Amino acid sequence: MEIRPVRWENDVLVLIDQTQLPHRYAEVRYKDWRAVAEAIRQMVVRGAPAIGAAAACGLVLAAESIPEQEMPAFRHQWLAAADAFAATRPTAVNLFWAIERMKRALDACRSPEEARRRLRAESERILEEDIRANRAIGQHGQTLIPDGARILTHCNAGALATVGYGTALGVIRAAVEAGKKIQVYADETRPRLQGMQLTAWELVQEGIPVTVITDNMAGMLMRRGEIDVVVVGADRIAANGDVANKVGTYSVAVLARHHSIPFYVAAPISTVDLSVADGSGIPIEERSPEEVTHIAGHRVAPEGVRVINPAFDVTPAELVTAIVTEAGIARPPYTVSLAEMVQSTGEG
Ligand code: MRU
């Protein structure tokens, strides 16, 4: 089964409801853009590229629901919808990248009718390009993976986190497609459990051997020599190569460095944000304390305890062995290699 978490079915946007996996595979159908914005907030759809793609499609639904015939009034309402999408989740830059692309498409239009058509076409391009980029990331990235590798990954940077195929899991898929024997260790990824519930589900679907570990087991496995490579995704990469990704990624990177294990980041160019010089400029989403204090709806923490719940952390560039994008493999110094890559893809 091809996993497609964000897709058009005629004029309906279909999302896989990722809050129900792995217990139930369910798709939700959207005609109302506000419901799409809420789906991003609630993590029905999540993962940096998938959030961007869903917002782009949501903005098509917004355009289709605005009745105005005159461009200024149409534009005014549409920009309010764009602002609403921009306010859903702050860290993954792909969201803002997709909104900017849709704004540029709108700017080229002279009538609401033309805008509806062009925005729709732009959203379709974003969906297609994402899968193509992920396959290219896979091709480049798999050259870094030795046959027989035992790969640790954190969170879910798979098909579910993108439009299809995945970034970190795209590298793993491509290595398997190249005939390499691969074993994956998936960090469960507290508090939302994307590793156990989504990464493990995806890999089980495809028969790629996967072992789930709790987040505190990675060090012990590395010390025993049972991890050869780490591959993770990213939510935003600063100009200097600092990488924001799911909270816990930084700890894995520190452990990997201590054990001399390569630490690779796989992400499309749309995740690179050259406007941010280093990781200190990346906004980190703080989510509800209930995600930490409750497990499966049951409170497991004592009442009255203070809780923090940052959804992401920043791994400094010095811990990142290489960054794999659709344009190739970037090596330090990233300030140079990333800027060159962004330019080569015309995104600069
Ligand atoms: O909070 P989430 O589930 O949206 O976080 C997802 C991640 O951190 C992924 O690793 C990242 O978005 C890369 S997805 C290709």
Q: Which residues fall within 8 angstroms of residue 294, CB to CB, at 6 or more apart? A: 300, 301
Residue 317 covered by a domain: yes
CA 69 to ligand 1 center in whole angstroms:
39
Give the helix ranges, DSSP H, for 66-195.
71-86, 93-107, 112-142, 168-177, 194
Residue that terminates a domain, selected from 73, 106, 134: 134
Using 50, 70 and 90 to split pLDDT, how confident is the model at 1?
confident
Residue range(s) defining the domain that contains residue 262: 144-345
The catalytic residue positions are: 235
Residue with tokens 């091709």: 139
How many Cβ atoms from other residues are within 10 Å of residue 24's Cβ?
Answer: 8
User: By percentage, how much of the chain surpasses pLDDT 70?
Assistant: 100
- pTM, two decimals, is 0.97
Judge whether residue 347 has pLDDT over 90. Answer: no
Whether 325 and 206 map to the same domain: the answer is yes
CA distance 202 to 188: 13
Tell me the average pLDDT across 305-330.
98
What tokens were used for 307? 């809780």
Whether 103 and 175 map to the same domain: the answer is no
Burial of 115: CB neighbours in 10 Å, binned 0-12, 13-18, 19+: buried
What tokens were used for 64? 């289709």
Q: Is the CB of 49 under 6 A from ligand 1?
A: yes
Residue that terminates a domain, selected from 134, 157, 184: 134
Whether 113 and 171 map to the same domain: the answer is no
Q: Is the CB of 89 under 6 A from ligand 1?
A: no
Residue that terminates a domain, selected from 107, 134, 161: 134
Whether 218 and 300 map to the same domain: the answer is yes
Judge whether residue 242 has pLDDT over 80. Answer: yes
Residue 139 covered by a domain: no
Using 50, 70 and 90 to split pLDDT, how confident is the model at 69?
very high
Q: Tell me, what's the pLDDT at 99?
A: 98
Judge whether residue 346 has pLDDT over 90. Answer: no
Tell me the average pLDDT across 228-252.
98
The number of folded domains in the chain is 2
Residue 205 covered by a domain: yes
Whether 72 and 188 map to the same domain: the answer is no
How many Cβ atoms from other residues are within 10 Å of residue 85's Cβ?
Answer: 27
Whether 261 and 193 map to the same domain: the answer is yes
DSSP-derived letter for residue 23 is T
Whether 157 and 205 map to the same domain: the answer is yes
Tell me the average pLDDT across 290-304.
96
| CATH code of 82's domain | 1.20.120.420
Closest to 6 (Cα-Cα) out of 162, 234, 156: 162
Atom number of ligand 1 nearest to Cα 168: 15
CA 150 to ligand 1 center in whole angstroms:
21
Judge whether residue 265 has pLDDT over 90. Answer: yes
Q: Tell me, what's the pLDDT at 230?
A: 99
CA distance 262 to 143: 13
Whether 155 and 96 map to the same domain: the answer is no
CA 111 to ligand 1 center in whole angstroms:
36
| CATH code of 195's domain | 3.40.50.10470
Whether 68 and 212 map to the same domain: the answer is no
Q: Is the CB of 246 under 6 A from ligand 1?
A: yes
Residue 1 covered by a domain: no
Whether 92 and 231 map to the same domain: the answer is no
Q: Are 176 and 208 in contact (CB under 8 A)?
A: yes
Q: Packing angle between helix 71-86 and helix 112-142, nearest 10 degrees?
A: 30
**What are φ and ψ of residue 301, in 5° steps?**
-105, 150
Q: 3-state DSSP call for residue 286?
A: strand
Whether 259 and 307 map to the same domain: the answer is yes
Residue 333 covered by a domain: yes
Judge whether residue 63 has pLDDT over 90. Answer: yes
Q: Is the CB of 92 under 6 A from ligand 1?
A: yes
Whether 81 and 114 map to the same domain: the answer is yes
